[in-house]
Amino acid sequence: MGDIKDVSDGYGRNYLLANKLAKLATEGTIKESEALKKKADTEMRVAHEKAKEIAEKAKDIVLEFTKKSSKSGTLFASLTKEEIATQLSKSIGGKVDPDSINLKEHGEHIKQEGEHMIEVELAPEIKIELKVVIKAE
């Protein structure tokens, strides 16, 4: 977004401009590009600060779930990233994306009752470790 490149006339005119993938580098478009970069920078900083605040709130949270399981401790319906994200979102008062949850050695689902450590990436370079406790119903 907003990069200025020098390309051949034919490529620029016949492909980039024709498919609206680029604009000519005029004074107006250069200023627009700089404004977009500043806005994106500001939004990134605000999101990073908010993620730091959420990380402070969430560092002592223990998520507890109750699931039906067999006598050996295997869950009949495994615990998914979506369920964890929903519960964590309620606990911290913010939105957590299920794709930001890393269940480590469990893969996509947790299939055993007990205590499990998971990792949540709230923003680039901001990760928290959470304890998830699954109890039998």
17 SS3 class: helix
- Whether 108 has a pLDDT exceeding 90, the answer reads no
Instruction: Write down the pLDDT at residue 1.
Output: 66
Mean pLDDT of the chain, nearest integer: 89
Tell me how far apart the alpha carbons of residues 62 and 118 are, in angstroms, rounded to a whole number: 11
Domain 59-136 grouped into CATH 3.40.50.2300: no
Tell me how far apart the alpha carbons of residues 25 and 28 are, in angstroms, rounded to a whole number: 8
Whether the Cβ atoms of residue 130 and residue 117 lie closer than 8 Å to each other: yes
Whether the Cβ atoms of residue 134 and residue 68 lie closer than 8 Å to each other: no
**Banded model confidence at residue 3, pLDDT cuts 50, 70, 90:** confident
Instruction: Write down the pLDDT at residue 43.
Output: 93
* Three-point CA angle 57, 60, 61, nearest 5°: 85
User: How do residues 65-77 score in pLDDT, each as one tens digit?
Assistant: 999 999 898 999 9
Tell me how far apart the alpha carbons of residues 137 and 132 are, in angstroms, rounded to a whole number: 16
